[in-house]
Amino acid sequence: MRKLFDRLPVALRTDLLEPNLTDETVAHKRKLLEVVDRDLRTGACPGCEFSGWMQPDTILSPDELARLKRTAERLRSETDVLLVIGIGGSYLGARAVIEALADDPDRVVYAGQNISADYIARLREKLERRTNKRGVAINVISKKGDTTETMIAFRLLRDMVGGDARNRIIVTTDPEGGVLRRMVDGGLYEMAFEVPQTIGGRYSVLSAVGLLPIAYAGVDIDDLIEGAADCAALCKNVDPLKNPALFYAVARNILYHQGFAVELLASFEPRLHYFAEWWKQLFGESHGKEHMGLFPASVDYTTDLHSLGQYVQQGRRILFETFVVIDKGERPLKIERGAGNLDGLNYLAGKEVSYVNRMAYEATAQAHREGGVPNMTILLERLDAYSLGALIYFFELACATSGLMLGVDPFDQPGVEAYKTRMFELLGKPGHGKPHSEPPSPQYVVF
């Protein structure tokens, strides 16, 4: 295990990376890491104008953080549900934390992450059933207010708020311009928070973008920020053998250059499903450029061991795995001895379910390594706000470092615009080419 420090609940298990990768091969990247880390911290790297996430305890001023907490608490006391409208980094970070930590994650619902008529219609019906008492608050999140998915959902759902829309529709947007900013400045909505200009969406979970919904859900955002800030302070050592975040960044790059094409983020805890979704955007949008980068995928074990497990064990050797495992703090649930042992489970009598789950992880990691899948494990002491905050920063730093080692700008996303350009042309959006009444006829093979 390679612990960050005794004060941080994060460790990295690396023994099952061998023989593909050893401490010695990682240590050989020390000089490159020194250059990358220096450029990242001094603002000399590509995209470093978007590195405001690197000091998580200063993203929001104390006054703005206090205002955010008051707003979240007021909305929580006045409404039944918060509807978060956004896509990508505008909602994934918040959802990752809420699904992992909130006592009642269903108090926060989501729209604007797709353009499905059925999804929106069903969501309206769900909100009408659930909010017959205090109603709905909305947090619409978009930097410029021109994201199609977000703004369609906002137009179709903003009438769901009960009471004064100016106080129940919270806008998180650019501080200087854009559609949503004009709505706020024009007096349509009173409450607004800023999308930081120095932080891209996928790195924005510890800004107002993520913290307002997280606070509404009842998660301690002070602990979340503290965990991230402590991780930031303790991850400044450029020796990858003493800094697990940098070890992870180096390891995934070495494996990529060995020919591995896919990294699987694997967890044995369903509460981390949306954390993996956030991780996929973070790494996929940061590294997938110039026909390079690992493809980030995720699996939920043991569920997916009974569907994808066969491929992982014996399919093409293009995969390596990163496990996220919770060490302690899980709910006590003991398997009792059964009369007559008709189900054959008495060999587990007296054991905690969490222990059985842990042994499933140990068995999976070993079996996959034996099958040719290198793997490493990020071990969290427990799943709480402090630990998750540390893990968020761990991945953000590793992502930026790994991208710079790869030779790409880890903070832009030029490829995202390609589908938007084509869609706007097909829909006839003004200023985007000739309107199309119908899309081009696709060619199908008919059987």
Q: Which of 31, 291, 306, 434 is catalytic?
A: 306
The question of whether 29 is a catalytic residue gets the answer: no
Indicate the DSSP class of residue 91: T
The question of whether 257 is a catalytic residue gets the answer: no
CA distances from 447 to 232, 407, 443, 444 (A): 58, 46, 13, 10
**Cβ burial 198-214 (10 Å sphere, 16+ → b, else e):** ebbbbbbbbbbbbbbbb
Distance CA 194, CA 25 (A): 43
Let me know if 419 is exposed, middle or buried by CB neighbors in 10 A (0-12, 13-18, 19+): exposed
The question of whether 306 is a catalytic residue gets the answer: yes
Listed residue (278, 251, 289) closest to 393, CA to CA: 278
Q: Which of 194, 269, 285, 321 is catalytic?
A: 285
Structure tokens at 302: 């043991």
Structure tokens at 117: 């008529």
Structure tokens at 203: 């790195």
The pairing of strands 2-3 and 10-13 is antiparallel
**Catalytic site residues?**
285, 306, 420
